[in-house]
Amino acid sequence: MEDMTSKDIILWFFLFLFIASALLLGWLIWPFVSIIILASVVTGLFIPVYTFFIEKNKIKPPIASLVTCLFIFIMLFIPIAFFVGILSKEAYDLYNMGKNAAIGDQLKSLFESSRILERINLFLSNFNFQLTGEELNNAISELGKIVGFFLYEQARSIASNMLKFLVNFFFMLLVIYFLLIDGKRLVDFIINLSPLPKEQDEKLIRKFKDMAGAILIGNGLGGLIQGVLGGAVFALFGFQSPFLWGVIMAFLAFLPIVGIGAVFIPAAIYLVLKGRFAAGIFFIIFYFILSGGIEYLFKPKLVGKRVQMHTLLVFLSIMGGLKLFGILGIIYGPLVVTAFLTLTDIYHTSYRERLAPAEK
């Protein structure tokens, strides 16, 4: 008995030390957790490039990892550095237009000239409600101010802290370099450390990989295509700040319910009110072809059916992620929901029956 008590004390003392050291380690790396998560996601995206260098070209892992990091630098850093300045300027211009009510004034005069506000109020009178030009002006101006300020803040935080951004980016590349070489050993270490059965740990990791791939490959490339083509069409038809609208559409493309229609449909209505009926119809047709082609042809072929998540849940996870984490919430939000859904599935398949007697 005394021997068992002594062993219990040793075990609990060890667990105390182990948990304390784990908490201290978490506290130590917490300032870099965003960089580590982002590096893990990017590593999963570019690991086929790393594998190609090793298997096809017979390059040693350290050299292959270095070349892959150089490839990532060219693919990510140069485009970011290129458009941050343009985005910052155009977003600030939109914010100022909203702040000075310039957007609302333009649309207000357009509605008054087309007498559409009178027709809207005629319909709304059935519900004892009336929309004034001033209310419309304030609502549209506030929307332009919110969107412009959000994008301007994101771009300004990069541009004003360029040194910090450079340090963080190269730190991310350093993490990616070692993850490419030792990623498998790290995963095995986590699986061996986890008290969960091996198949459950592997399921969690596989779901994270699938969701990260769906976000970056499916939504990322889909958003990039829609943003580039949408911005090009805006420039072709003479809209101001086509680059900014392209960036907005690229982000909106991540949202499954709203999508780029939040920009294209109002733009089509605007063109119709201006008397450009053919251009307005073209915008609507182009929107359905572009959005439908990406959602129902491009994404399913690229990502497949590995990631099953309700459309509304995807929308809420991205919106909540944006509110909590800023622009990186596009990645973090769905990953948090993926972890919850995967653990829920594991609970139903492995633990629910064990807890059933305790519930009775």
The average pLDDT across 214-221 equals: 74
* Beta carbons of 318 and 254 less than 8 angstroms apart: yes
Tokens 């995963």, residue located:
187
Provide the 10 A C-beta neighbour count for residue 125: 10
Can you tell me the distance from the alpha carbon of 86 to that of 92, in angstroms, rounded to the nearest whole number?
Answer: 10
Query: Is the predicted pLDDT of residue 24 greater than 90, yes or no?
Result: yes
Provide the 10 A C-beta neighbour count for residue 228: 13
Give the pLDDT of residue 209: 75
Tally of residues, the chain: 360
Give the pLDDT of residue 21: 92
The average pLDDT across 327-348 equals: 81
What pTM was estimated for this model as a whole? 0.68
Can you tell me the distance from the alpha carbon of 17 to that of 217, in angstroms, rounded to the nearest whole number?
Answer: 41
Tell which wins on pLDDT, 288 or 127. Answer: 288
Helical segments of the chain, H only = 2-29, 33-55, 61-72, 78-99, 102-114, 116-124, 133-160, 162-193, 198-213, 221-236, 242-252, 261-273, 277-293, 299-303, 311-325, 329-346, 352-359
* Among the ranges given (22-26, 175-179, 344-348), the one the predictor scored with the smallest mean pLDDT: 344-348
Tell which wins on pLDDT, 313 or 216. Answer: 313
pLDDT grade for 129, boundaries at 50, 70 and 90? low
Its sign, for the CA torsion 234, 236, 239, 243, is: positive
CA 276 to chain CA centroid, Å, is 35
User: Average pLDDT of the chain?
Assistant: 75
**Which tokens in the block code for residue 197?**
């059965």
Tokens 């047709």, residue located:
285
Burial class (CB in 10 A: 0-12, 13-18, 19+), 42: buried
pLDDT grade for 349, boundaries at 50, 70 and 90? confident
DSSP 252-280: HTT-TTTTTHHHHHHHHHHHHHTT-HHHH
Can you tell me the distance from the alpha carbon of 205 to that of 120, in angstroms, rounded to the nearest whole number?
Answer: 53
The average pLDDT across 184-207 equals: 81
Query: Is the predicted pLDDT of residue 359 greater than 50, yes or no?
Result: no
The average pLDDT across 320-331 equals: 79
The average pLDDT across 117-133 equals: 58
Can you tell me the distance from the alpha carbon of 143 to that of 145, in angstroms, rounded to the nearest whole number?
Answer: 5
DSSP 298-358: IHHHHHTTS----HHHHHHHHHHHHHHHGGGHHHHHHHHHHHHHHHHHHIIIIIHHHHHHH
* Among the ranges given (52-56, 78-82, 287-291, 296-300), the one the predictor scored with the smallest mean pLDDT: 78-82
**What are phi and psi for residue 73, nearest 5 degrees?**
-60, -45
Give the pLDDT of residue 37: 82
Contacts of 309 (CB under 8 A, 6+ apart): 334, 337, 338, 341
Give the pLDDT of residue 184: 84
Its sign, for the CA torsion 35, 36, 37, 40, is: positive
* Beta carbons of 315 and 257 less than 8 angstroms apart: yes
The average pLDDT across 178-198 equals: 84
Can you tell me the distance from the alpha carbon of 354 to that of 356, in angstroms, rounded to the nearest whole number?
Answer: 6
Tens-digit pLDDT profile for residues 95-116: 555 555 444 555 555 555 545 5
Give the pLDDT of residue 16: 87
Give the pLDDT of residue 162: 60
3-state secondary structure of 240: coil
pLDDT grade for 360, boundaries at 50, 70 and 90? very low
3-state secondary structure of 115: coil
The average pLDDT across 336-342 equals: 82
Tens-digit pLDDT profile for residues 73-93: 888 777 776 666 666 666 666
Can you tell me the distance from the alpha carbon of 64 to that of 220, in angstroms, rounded to the nearest whole number?
Answer: 25
**Which tokens in the block code for residue 338?**
């993926």
Can you tell me the distance from the alpha carbon of 280 to that of 166, in angstroms, rounded to the nearest whole number?
Answer: 43
Give the pLDDT of residue 229: 92
DSSP one-letter code for 196: S
Give the pLDDT of residue 102: 47
Give the pLDDT of residue 175: 92
